[in-house]
Amino acid sequence: MQERILTMKLNRNMMEMALDPNIAKVLQMISDLRVPNLRDLEVKDIRNLVDNNMLMKENIEIGRVADMSLGDENIQARLYEPKDATRSLILYFHGGGFVFGSIESYDSVCRRGSHGIAVKGSFGCLQTRP
């Protein structure tokens, strides 16, 4: 596992390239969390795991955070505007493949990364069958 984290294989030549040490640390931290393999979980359990991920729930203060609704479809969005915002704009859509994730997911990621104005869109997840 350690070797897989610290190197990555490129192309068909199986050429190896060392990862940046900071990326290697992040990957090691993720590995140390002992998060279950998502393939082994029910959809409801995956959603619960993501929604309750304490690593993503850090409340980082920035200038302004505002919830809004966009367009005729009333798509939920959240605006992040730091006190010293530049005119740049980041449009962020959370991952989850329409299975998990919400407007609350990855909130601290957007707060931490918004050196300019950031808008995070949300979209509905697929319904699960009973």
Does 108 have pLDDT greater than 80? Answer: no
1 burial via Cβ count (<10 Å: 0-12, 13-18, 19+): exposed
By three-state DSSP, how is residue 18 classified? strand
The model's pLDDT over 55-85, given as tens digits with 9 standing for 90+, comes to: 566 777 888 889 988 888 778 888 888 888 7
Q: pTM for this one? A: 0.54
The three-state secondary structure class of 46 is helix
Whether 58 and 27 map to the same domain: the answer is: no
On whether both 47 and 20 belong to a single domain, the answer is no
Judge if 4 and 57 occupy the same domain: no
Confidence at 94, pLDDT banded by 50, 70, 90? confident
Q: Is there a single domain that holds both residue 73 and residue 94?
A: yes
| Total number of domains in the chain | 2
Residue range of the domain that includes 26: 1-34
